Each structure stands twice: as C-alpha cells, then as structure tokens.
A and B are shown apart, each in its own frame.
Chain A
Amino acid sequence: MAGGYQIVVCGTLVPDPLQTLEPVMGTQGPGLKNETMLPAVLDPWAAHALYEAAALARQHPGSSVWLVSVGPRARLQQLMMSVAQKVPFQLVACDGSASGFTDAMEVAGVLAEAIGRIQGLDRERLLLFGGCASASRDAGATLQIVGEQLGITEQFMAVDELLVQPTGELRLKERIEGGQYLVSVCAGPPVVVGWATGNLPEPPNNPQVGMLNMRGILPALQQARAVQVGVGSAVYASVSIPEQRRATRVVRDLSPAAIAAELAAWIRS
C-alpha cells in the first residue's frame, strides 16, 4: 500500500500464565487477590497481534504501529520493560483497571476514543489488530465492538494469516471449527483483525529497539488519561474460580497404561 499501513493494536496486561488466580470482592467491585503483586505479561493473544503488526509494517515502508492499552499506569510502565525490546511501536496508554472484571462495551468505548485521538490517523490505511479472545481479559467481544464504534464493518476473528496481495487486497485465514480455515479476501483497509496465534515466533529482545521505543513510551505513560472502567456500571453478583483441578498424590508402581487411562478419564470428566 502506498504510504504504508497504520496498524493499531489493542492489548494490555494479564497475569503471567502460571500464576494462581483468586477472585475476591473488594470495595470497588471484584478483582484478583494480590493483583498488584502478580507478575504480568502482555496478553499473549494481543502479543501475537503486535508481532504480526510489526512484521507487516516492516514489509510495507511508511507503516506505523500503535499499541493502545488500558491498564494501571504503573503496571503498564513495568509491562513496557518486557515488551518494548521486541518490536518498534508507539504507545497510547489509558490509566484504568485491567482487572478483567470490566464490561466489554465500556472498555471498547475507551479504546475507540483513544484510537480516535491518535493524530494523523488515516482511516483508509487503518488495520485494527487485537487478540481474538481478549483485549483486556474480558468476554472476547471488545475488539469487535471497538471496530463497530469506529465504523469498521470488515471484521475477521481468530486469524492465523494475513497476506497482502499484489493488488493490495488482503487475504485472511480465519480458524473455524474442525481444524479448518475460512479464507477470505477483502479489498483493503479499514479492517478489524482479531488474531489467534499467527505464525510468527516471539521476536528476540533487541536493545536498540528498546532504546528507541522508550523515547516515546515514557511521554505516553506520563500523558495517560485516567479512564473509568470496571467501576459502577456492571454489577457482579458473585465471582468464583473453577473447581480446584490440581491434586498431589504419591502413587508408586503405577503402569504407564494405568496413568494414561486415569488421565483420559480426568480429561473426559
């Protein structure tokens, strides 16, 4: 595309995958016990979207990548130290809850407004990226709603591949049931792309990219607008975690077949 794409990736922090999560009801509504102490990572779905965005931008000179995040500013700041060495991007930060107990419509409104404020954003070059299942640990609907609020009707979910055709058309592979793909071709931007895992590995840490990114990230964090999400508008009657699945047992002399049978029974249950 002439002038390159303008790729906006929606994504924020989530607890590091192995952490033990325990929902609790606080004075401000539900949250996670010890949330401030839980190590966080960029939502893996959104991370894939970011890496795909960077790869696409590299292939199309003149392209730009923004990461739009809603999260507590201090936590976003820390998250950036893990993310900013990966790929070049500009941050748009909104200082608000990323507890996961937020309403998708509410978060989408905040994101759409933040995207709308990006100076010089050209709708005809806009690719709106995000994770297909989450943009802020919610019901998985946020990205679609952001697209709708921005008036983007071409939406693709669970995407594993986006190829730019010589004609400028976009060819996308969406995951559908049964391990199959739905292949679609659309004329071009603006589109919403909710990524599944894509095909790219996690980029290595590049200190030069980190140094370059930080020049923009710090001002973006300082200018982060306070937003109200997850407070007041949604009422949670109760929150709970799934039944505890982990149990330690010491069993000696169990045959591999017996272990396999037990695992199979557990999976079926």
Chain B
Amino acid sequence: MAEAVHPSMEVDIVCVGFGPAAGGFLTTLARALEKAPQAPWCASRAAPGMPLQVVCYERADDLGFGVSGVVTRARAMRASFPDLDAAQIPLAHPVRHEEILYLQDPVGASRRSRPLRAADWCLRRAGGVLPYADWALRLPYVPGFLRKTDGLLFSVGQFSQWVAAQLLAGGLVQVWPGTPVAAPLIEQNAVVGVRLADQGTDRHGRPAAGYLPGMDVRAALTVVADGPFGPVGRQLDARFGMPAGHHQREWAVGMKMVVDLPAHSALLPGTVIHTFGYPEPEIFGFVYVLAEGIASMGIFVPSWLDSPLRAPYRYLQHWLQHPALWRHVQGGAMRSWGAKSLLESGVRGEPHLVGDGYARIGEGSGTTNVLTGSGIDEAWASGVLLAEGVIELLQAGAPFTRENLERAYVARRRQSWIEREGQQAASARDGFQRGFVAGLVGMGLAGLTRGRLRVRGRSLRPYERVPALAAYCAGRIDSEQLEAARRQAAAEGTGLHDILMSRAGWPEIPLDGRLLVSHQDALLLGGKVQAPAGYADHVVFVDPALCAACDNKLCIEACSGQAITPGSGGVPQFDRDKCIHCGACLWNCTRARGPGDERTNVEFRAGAGGLHSAEN
C-alpha cells in the first residue's frame, strides 16, 4: 500500500493539549501579544503579513472535558488573574474548612496489616475521648504542607472553559478541541511540529470512508502539554530518553463523581475532607463541596496498592458508603463521573524539558507535587514560565533551540517555587514502597522537615509490583474457587474483581439507580461517554502473544470504563466507545514490553472521544 500523503500547514507555535498548563501558557502569551500587536516580534514568520499564528489542539471532544475537581492554593492562577473572583466561574468556591478523616473498615474486608488492625482496635476503644464517630477518626489538625488556606475549590472542567472563553474572545490564539495529535514531527533530532491523527479510518487505522491523513502542522516551537500519558510526550521520551535517574513509575488513578447532595446534607460550600485508610489503607479519598448542594467526591487508587484487583469503580462505591461519608450523601444523585491517571513521580518523573524546537509543561513535565497534593497550580505556573521565556526569545529574535529554551524557560523554572517545593516533595512518598504505615510516616517527616527527612523505599516499575492472583487471594479464596471465578468471568466476558471481591467479604453494592449505579450506567449517566467514528483504536496491545500468555490481566480489572474485557485467544478486547481516556491500562498492564523496559505491553495512542461532561 502506498504511503499516505499528509497535508501540511505552517504556524508559528503549536501547542498539544489544552489543560491548566496550556491555559497558563496561552493566557500569558496572548496578553503579551495584545499589549503590543504591532511590535515586530508579534508578526508571524509562518504566514508573513499576519500576526503570530498560535494554535492549540486538544484531543477531547470539547474544552474542559475529562478533567477533575480540585482544591488548590491557586497562587499562580491568582498571579495571572489578580482579580480572580470564584463567583465568575461556575462550581468554584473559596476554601472554608479542611479536615482529614482516618477511615476504619466497617465491613471487615479491607486488607489491613496486623499492626494496623491493632491500632484500629485501640482507636475504637479510645473513641470516647477522641473525635471518633461513624468508624472514622478526625485528625486534630491538618498539617501545614497539606493545607489550602485561602485556596479555591473548583471544577477544572469549568475553569478550563472559563479560561478558553477569554482566550478565544481575544482572538490571538486558537484552541481546537476534538483534534487528537498523533505524534511529534522530528527531523534531525529537532521537533518541527506535530502530526494530527488520521481521520476516516477503521479501528485498526486502515483507510476507510472519508479517509483524511493526519495533517502535518509545522511550527518553530511545539509546546507539549498533553499530560503524563499523552502520545506526543511519550514518543519524545522514547526518542530522547529520560534524564539520568528519572523515571515515571508512580501512578494513581483518580476516580470521582460529582454528587447532588441530599437536602439533609450538612456539608457546606468550601468544605474539604481528605480521607485515608479505607476501602484499602493505600486508597486516599477526597470530598470537595464546590457549591451549595454539589460535591466532588472520589478516591485515588495508587500503583503501590500491590493488588491484581485494583478496581477503582467498585472501591469508589464502597468508599462512598463508609458511614462517615454516607451520612452526608445518602439520598443524593450522581450528576457527573470520570477518572484520570495521575503521574505521581513528581520531579523524579521530569523528562527533558526542552529540546530543539520543543518545550514541555504541565503534569507530563513532572510538575505535580505529591507531598502537598497539588498539581493544577503547578501546571499553570509551568505554562506561565514557558510563555515568559518564549516572549523573551521572540523579542530577541532568537530561535527556539535547546540552548535558548534552557536559558529562557528551564532556568526560570529552576528558580521557581515549583522547583523548590517539588524538590522538597521528591522523596516524600518513598515510604509507600514499603507499606502504608511507612508511607504515612515518610510523608509526615518530609512535610514537616521540608524534605530533609524521609523514609527510604526502592522504586519498582508498576508491573513489578503486582502479585500473582493466587498469591494475593491465598487465605481468603482457595484455588478451586479461583478457577471457578475465572470460568465465570470468562463466560460472562467480565473482569474477575467483582466476583473475587464479593467472595473476599466485600458486600454487594445496593444499587439505587441514582448515586449507586452500575458501572455502565456511570458511563452514560455521569460520564456521557461517546466516541466519534472514523478514528483508530487508541489502546493497543503491542505484542498479542504476551497478552495471550498473561494470567494476570490487571488491564481488565483496572479499566475505569469497562472498555477492556476478555477477548479471544487470551488477548483482551478494547471497546473505544466505552473508553474515558483515563490512561490506567498503560501502567496497570503487568507485562513489560521487553526485558527491563519501563514500558508495558499497552500503548496509549492519540484518540478522540471520551467523557462529555464539563463539570468534572
């Protein structure tokens, strides 16, 4: 078959992905362009006679889809918007109250170590003198490093739309949703733009009706802001490698729902509740009350939960029913739902930030601070810093070479608070490599000493952490029951986790059709998940033989949308119409692509569709 001819167009700056980082970058750049529209540096080189041509391509079907509710100190955002008023943004509210709850296990199914069980027993006995109620202990204070005093709670979806509206009204930059970027264009080790995804293909990427080869968008500068599992960033990592000692091994999938609280709920707008300890000790949770009667609630299921049954949706439902939370939400209704993978390696996951013709910002560039539990503000700040550097280079008429970008952007970043706080957080979670209690102690030490003290732990690749199913179930489910479960799951075309969790003592979920709904109903009622026709599958099992031989298909169990199910010949099948683009399959695959490879056997490519809710 003849190779497709890709049409081409020239712009000055192309940005991949529209999230907080790109928002910060484009906002800062657009303001500078607005102030000096006639200045020579604002003129386009790609289109002589025109102003600087800046375009941003976002994979999701609309701006603000597929992101999450957050609590943030909003330092960088406020610097960009000094008059920022939460009332301007739907579902935004100043932080009014913060607390941390340690959740005990009211059902007896959680996998807790003996010391933890003993501690739980003591807490229950001492409940009369401690702030203990509903199987939860309210911690006496929130450590300073976690506190978000004077911060904001908001829906990133709504915030993104608000930012986009201002950008688009100015007309100096263009942001195009529904346009996945397939790959960077690399010539002689320089990035010269991006290639958009082919359209009008079958699921295997073969030309079909209406075939349009992905356009090559050539630019002097490519800004990579496509997140931690974006195809452009990952291909750059594959091509240029990671800096020595850096790796992206710590992940979590954050799954949450936006809930219409019942009338009796006493939760007030601006309330922040952090939880830990349940449904498994390693699973952290959050409640953000975004507005009167509306809360964003969810959990983080991390890669250091050493389980072959990391099933975020089932865990989310158990967490929601914990008595300390259920009393607030019983009778409520799901209004939105979604999930997303978070890169929790922090500065250790930082890739090469710049190269000839490109620069990286946002979560994929290692901005997330795992100690303070903050990422949005850091991502925004990284975008602002890059924009300041880019403006400097444009004004100087300097090309976007690695050296120039190092000087104009990386140097700024090294001197910023993102770097300082990121370094303090670098080792904060190492303790979790050794267990839950060690992890908590490590976080506390790192937080209270600004990173000077820590608990050491050896970082493993995610696929190295997952125990065999039989070993994990030992003592709870015998081999005969396990085989029966395998047969049942194969017959029903489902994962194993629901069967095995029920057998391990987790109660059945009392579905009510409003708040506790089936997983598939969550896709439709909450996520409004859709996938446009004409795109190839973006989840690809690279070596089917590896999958066929795999007896620990965590990709199926961990899939946030039940889009990956058992397939013929042992190779999982992928249903693009159900995928919410959370990226969990990428790091939950239990097979390395090759010996010692950091990559798993799952490849996450460019794809359109996914969540259609902007409230997340």
A binds B: yes
Contact in complex: B90, A37 (CB < 8 Å):
yes
Residue from A16, A34, A205 having most chain B Cβ neighbours under 10 A = A205
Distance (whole angstroms) from the CB of A40 to the closest CB of chain B: 8
Give the interface SS of chain A, mostly helix, strand, loop or mixed. Answer: loop
Q: Which residues of B contact A38 (CB under 8 A)?
A: 614
Within 8 A of A (CB), among B159-217: 161, 164-165, 168-169, 171, 174-179, 196, 199-200, 209-210, 212, 215, 217
When A39-B62, A77-B169 are in contact, do A204 and B612 touch as well, CB less than 8 Å? no
Residue from A18, A38, A221 having most chain B Cβ neighbours under 10 A = A18
Contact in complex: A204, B177 (CB < 8 Å):
no
Report how far A14 CA is from B152 CA in the complex, Å: 31
CB-CB nearest in chain A for B57: A207
When A77-B165, A204-B200 are in contact, do A218 and B171 touch as well, CB less than 8 Å? yes
Contact in complex: B513, A82 (CB < 8 Å):
no
CB-CB nearest in chain A for B335: A20
Q: Which residues of B contact A267 (CB under 8 A)?
A: none
Contact in complex: A18, B524 (CB < 8 Å):
yes
Report how far A70 CA is from B177 CA in the complex, Å: 22
Distance (whole angstroms) from the CB of B277 to the closest CB of chain A: 29
Contact in complex: A78, B164 (CB < 8 Å):
yes
Q: Which residues of B contact A18 (CB under 8 A)?
A: 524, 528, 530, 612
Distance (whole angstroms) from the CB of B506 to the closest CB of chain A: 16
Contact in complex: B165, A85 (CB < 8 Å):
no
A211 on interface, CB distance cutoff 8 Å: yes
Residue from A19, A81, A247, A250 having most chain B Cβ neighbours under 10 A = A81
Contact in complex: A82, B178 (CB < 8 Å):
yes
Binary contact readout B524-563 vs A (1 if CB under 8 angstroms, 0 otherwise): 1100101011100000000000000000000000000000
Q: Which residues of B contact A248 (CB under 8 A)?
A: 511-513, 517-518, 521
Contact in complex: A207, B179 (CB < 8 Å):
yes
Q: Which residues of B contact A37 (CB under 8 A)?
A: 90-91, 158, 614-615
Report how far A20 CA is from B522 CA in the complex, Å: 13
A206 on interface, CB distance cutoff 8 Å: yes
Report how far A221 CA is from B168 CA in the complex, Å: 10
Distance (whole angstroms) from the CB of B174 to the closest CB of chain A: 6
Report how far A146 CA is from B32 CA in the complex, Å: 44
Contact in complex: A39, B518 (CB < 8 Å):
no
- Give the residue of B171, B179, B532 whose beta carbon is less than 8 angstroms from that of A85: B179
Distance (whole angstroms) from the CB of A207 to the closest CB of chain B: 5
Contact in complex: A205, B176 (CB < 8 Å):
yes
Contact in complex: A77, B199 (CB < 8 Å):
no
When A207-B9, A207-B196, A247-B513 are in contact, do A39 and B612 touch as well, CB less than 8 Å? yes
Distance (whole angstroms) from the CB of A211 to the closest CB of chain B: 7
Report how far A6 CA is from B9 CA in the complex, Å: 29
Q: Which residues of B contact A85 (CB under 8 A)?
A: 176, 178-179
B243 on interface, CB distance cutoff 8 Å: no
B68 on interface, CB distance cutoff 8 Å: no
Within 8 A of A (CB), among B488-531: 511-513, 517-518, 521, 524-525, 528, 530
A264 on interface, CB distance cutoff 8 Å: no
Report how far A18 CA is from B614 CA in the complex, Å: 13
Contact in complex: A81, B513 (CB < 8 Å):
no
A74 on interface, CB distance cutoff 8 Å: yes
B63 on interface, CB distance cutoff 8 Å: yes
Report how far A20 CA is from B525 CA in the complex, Å: 8
Contact in complex: A211, B174 (CB < 8 Å):
yes
B65 on interface, CB distance cutoff 8 Å: yes
A166 on interface, CB distance cutoff 8 Å: no
Count residues of A near B (Cβ-Cβ below 8 Å): 33
When A37-B615, A207-B215, A248-B511 are in contact, do A16 and B528 touch as well, CB less than 8 Å? yes
A93 on interface, CB distance cutoff 8 Å: no
A201 on interface, CB distance cutoff 8 Å: yes
Distance (whole angstroms) from the CB of A78 to the closest CB of chain B: 7
Distance (whole angstroms) from the CB of B90 to the closest CB of chain A: 5
Contact in complex: A204, B210 (CB < 8 Å):
yes
When A18-B528, A20-B335, A85-B176 are in contact, do A204 and B61 touch as well, CB less than 8 Å? no
Distance (whole angstroms) from the CB of A55 to the closest CB of chain B: 12
Q: Which residues of B contact A34 (CB under 8 A)?
A: 90, 615
Report how far A206 CA is from B196 CA in the complex, Å: 10
Contact in complex: B177, A82 (CB < 8 Å):
yes
Report how far A206 CA is from B9 CA in the complex, Å: 11
B267 on interface, CB distance cutoff 8 Å: no
Q: Which residues of A contact B65 (CB under 8 A)?
A: 39
Q: Which residues of A contact B176 (CB under 8 A)?
A: 81, 85, 205, 207, 210
Within 8 A of B (CB), among A72-126: 74, 77-78, 81-82, 85
Binary contact readout A235-267 vs B (1 if CB under 8 angstroms, 0 otherwise): 000000000001111100000000000000000
Within 8 A of B (CB), among A192-216: 201-208, 210-211, 214
Q: Which residues of A contact B530 (CB under 8 A)?
A: 18
B222 on interface, CB distance cutoff 8 Å: no
Report how far A248 CA is from B514 CA in the complex, Å: 9
CB-CB nearest in chain B for A248: B513
Report how far A126 CA is from B260 CA in the complex, Å: 49
A59 on interface, CB distance cutoff 8 Å: no
Report how far A37 CA is from B175 CA in the complex, Å: 19
Report how far A33 CA is from B151 CA in the complex, Å: 27
Report how far A82 CA is from B57 CA in the complex, Å: 11
Contact in complex: A39, B210 (CB < 8 Å):
no
A36 on interface, CB distance cutoff 8 Å: yes
CB-CB nearest in chain A for B171: A218
Report how far A97 CA is from B313 CA in the complex, Å: 39
B127 on interface, CB distance cutoff 8 Å: no
Distance (whole angstroms) from the CB of B327 to the closest CB of chain A: 23
Q: Which residues of A contact B217 (CB under 8 A)?
A: 207
- Give the residue of B90, B177, B512, B533 whose beta carbon is less than 8 angstroms from that of A36: B90
Report how far A214 CA is from B61 CA in the complex, Å: 18
When A39-B613, A201-B209, A211-B9 are in contact, do A78 and B161 touch as well, CB less than 8 Å? yes
Contact in complex: B179, A205 (CB < 8 Å):
yes
Q: Which residues of B contact A16 (CB under 8 A)?
A: 62, 528, 612
B567 on interface, CB distance cutoff 8 Å: no
B55 on interface, CB distance cutoff 8 Å: yes
Report how far A174 CA is from B67 CA in the complex, Å: 43
Contact in complex: A250, B177 (CB < 8 Å):
no
Report how far A180 CA is from B169 CA in the complex, Å: 46
Q: Which residues of A contact B91 (CB under 8 A)?
A: 37
Contact in complex: A81, B63 (CB < 8 Å):
yes
Report how far A211 CA is from B46 CA in the complex, Å: 13
B7 on interface, CB distance cutoff 8 Å: yes
Q: Which residues of A contact B7 (CB under 8 A)?
A: 208
- Give the residue of A36, A78, A82 whose beta carbon is less than 8 angstroms from that of B61: A82
Distance (whole angstroms) from the CB of B385 to the closest CB of chain A: 26
Distance (whole angstroms) from the CB of B548 to the closest CB of chain A: 30
Report how far A16 CA is from B518 CA in the complex, Å: 22
What are 29 sample pairs from A and B whose C-beta atoms fall under 8 A apart? A16-B528, A19-B612, A34-B90, A37-B158, A37-B614, A39-B612, A78-B161, A78-B164, A81-B62, A81-B63, A81-B168, A82-B62, A82-B177, A85-B176, A85-B178, A202-B533, A203-B210, A204-B199, A204-B210, A204-B212, A205-B199, A206-B212, A208-B7, A210-B176, A211-B9, A211-B53, A211-B174, A248-B513, A248-B518
Contacts A34-B615, A78-B165, A85-B176 supplied; 18 other A-B pairs, CB < 8 Å: A16-B612, A18-B524, A37-B91, A77-B168, A81-B62, A81-B168, A201-B209, A204-B200, A204-B534, A207-B9, A207-B176, A207-B196, A208-B215, A211-B174, A246-B513, A246-B521, A246-B525, A248-B512
- Interface positions of A (Cβ within 8 A of B): 16, 18-20, 34, 36-39, 74, 77-78, 81-82, 85, 201-208, 210-211, 214, 218, 221, 246-250
Q: Which 6 A-B pairs have the closest CB atoms?
A: A204-B199, A18-B528, A248-B513, A218-B171, A204-B212, A77-B168
